[in-house]
Amino acid sequence: MHAPNILLLINDSARRDRCACYGYGRATTPALDALAGEGVRFDAAYSESSWTVPVMFTLLTGLAPREHQGERLRRLPAALPTLPELLKKRGYHTFAASANPFFGPKCGVERGFDEFRRPPRAIRIAKPFVKYMAQRLGWADNGGRAIADGFARALPAVRRPWFGVLWFFDTHTPYGPKRPFIDRFARERLPFGPRNRLLARLRRPPELAATATAEELRQLSDLYDAAIAYADMLIGEVCDALRQRGLWDDTVVIVAADHGEMLGERGLAGHGRSGGMYQPVVHVPLIARGPGFPSGATSAALVQWADVTQTVAELAGAAPELPATAAQRVSLLQAARGAGRDRVLAECEPFNERSAKAFQRRNPSFEVRPHLCHLAMAVQDGWKLIHRSPGREELYDLAHDSAETRDLSADEPNRAHALREVVARWQGEAHPHPAVASIAEDDEAIVERRLQDLGYF
């Protein structure tokens, strides 16, 4: 078989349980539903972290966050080989388009892509109008329209084989789909004034969660569903462009979310350090279809984001050249038939002192102290441990309590201990890659401002 084209569609902050193909009761994702019908829906896919930067570095290197140190560095080290670089060596044309300000040149992730585009809303001169006027009126989105249209326009000129990454941002706060979608998913009319105030408050998700009324949380949920549906429409258009140009049968399409989102559950909103490691954040949607994948299948195999990297490299014949990792390597082609990981792990570093103070100033009603810790999560044999260092642990029986309603850490001390040992062994075995071990932390003020603007603190 000749080398397939490969397209990754990243739906930033998209919750698995808000996708109809994963059982949601609203028709939010007809395009994803169709993709799942043609390919494989992975039911036990997990992120390696609760926010974008460490996850995107994992996608590009195949390394776990503890190994690539992306959360600390916030810039991809030049000595680390990246997935697009490896595919270029195999004759692939590589391109990316991203509406996420972190998946871009500021973090060094454009390396290896022949083309790297950002939508106009990401350009500084256009941001104030888009951010404070057009989005809140429902006239503009978070950049997804420009990405989908740009892909369709450029596709005829792209030589084969090609590898592309389209990073959509429309399900990230402040949830700004265009007006028809807002109206379609609103269970009650949401006039401009209240919607404008809600979108403004979404710039600080933790503060919103700590102070929101029940009505505001319902409105928040509806806005989020509208954003999911809008992004799904754009993904459907991208797939249609492939069909119209006769490329569908020769292209592997993988759709995933880097992480999910809290929408007021447990008094939390958003993601990142203050979002926790609960299922809405770390249990992500993942669908793959195309050459090599079965059609209309579901897989219960445990997989993570690094397995997307492994799969893409394997399809291109470049898997042996990925950086060495202490983590398990699993191909989604194998996982589609049930051969997944024995366990999955995720981690998130604590706030540093400056970030914690900035977070508390911006979110005075939110209790930040429980989040001043290193956060880790392990899932194995249907059980999940959330481990805080320092702080309390939580243990859940996901097979019987997928909503994590009952903490069994006191009732099942042996299971908690076993999963605690899984975390400890991983932390003892996984070390920073030699390419990053001696690099100083990126502490640039512009990066901190960008994090604040996106609601991380």
pLDDT digits (tens, 9 = 90+) for 370-398: 888 899 999 999 999 999 998 899 999 99
Phi–psi pair at 219, nearest 5 degrees? -65, -40
pLDDT band with cut points at 50, 70 and 90 for residue 320? very high
Is 271:451 a contact under the CB 8 Å cutoff?
Answer: no
Whether pLDDT at 187 is above 50: yes
- Domain range annotation of the chain: 5-341, 348-453
- What average pLDDT does the segment 95-113 reach? 92
For 55-101, the pLDDT digits (tens) are 999 999 999 999 999 888 888 888 899 999 999 999 999 999 999 98
Q: One-letter amino acid identity for 397?
A: D
Q: What is the dihedral of CA 66, 72, 73, 79, to 10 degrees?
A: -20
DSSP secondary structure string for all residues of 352-405: PHHHHHHHHHH-TTS--GGGSSEEEEEEETTEEEEEEESS--EEEETTT-TT--
42: which strand partners?
299
Mean per-residue pLDDT, 233-257: 97
1, pLDDT greater than 50: yes
pLDDT tens-digit profile of 275-305? 899 999 999 999 999 999 999 999 999 999 9
Q: How many whole angstroms separate alpha carbon 409 and alpha carbon 392?
A: 10
- Please report the pLDDT score of residue 338 as a whole number: 92
Residue 457: pLDDT band (50, 70, 90) is: very low
Q: How far apart are CA 391 and CA 372, in angstroms?
A: 9
- pLDDT for 449 equals 52
Look at strands 40-46 and 286-289 and give their pairing. antiparallel
Residue type, 348: C
Residues 6+ apart with CB under 8 A from 87: 6, 94, 112, 163, 312, 313, 316, 318
Residue 335: partners with Cβ closer than 8 Å, 6 or more residues away: 42, 299, 301, 303, 307
**CATH number corresponding to 5-341:** 3.40.720.10
Q: What is the pLDDT of residue 352?
A: 78
> Which among 305, 270, 265, 269 is positioned nearest to 285, based on CA atoms?
305
Question: What is the C-alpha to C-alpha distance for residues 450 and 124, in angstroms, rounded to an integer?
Answer: 12
List the beta strands (DSSP E) in 74-153. Answer: 93-98, 115-117
Fold of the domain built from segment(s) 348-453 = Arylsulfatase, C-terminal domain (3.30.1120)
Burial 406-420 (b: 16+ CB within 10 A, else e): ebbbeebeebbeebb
pLDDT, the chain, mean: 90
Choose among 370, 265, 308: nearest CA to 15.
Answer: 265
Contact 380, 342 (CB under 8 A): yes
pLDDT tens for 426-442 read: 999 999 999 887 776 65
Mean pLDDT of 243-248: 95
Answer yes or no: is pLDDT of 336 > 50: yes
Query: Each residue of 345-363: pLDDT tens digit?
Result: 999 988 877 888 888 899 9
> Which residues face 162 on adjacent strands?
93
Q: What are residue 405's DSSP bridge partners?
A: none
Say whether pLDDT at 446 is over 90: no
Q: Is the pLDDT of residue 23 over 90?
A: yes
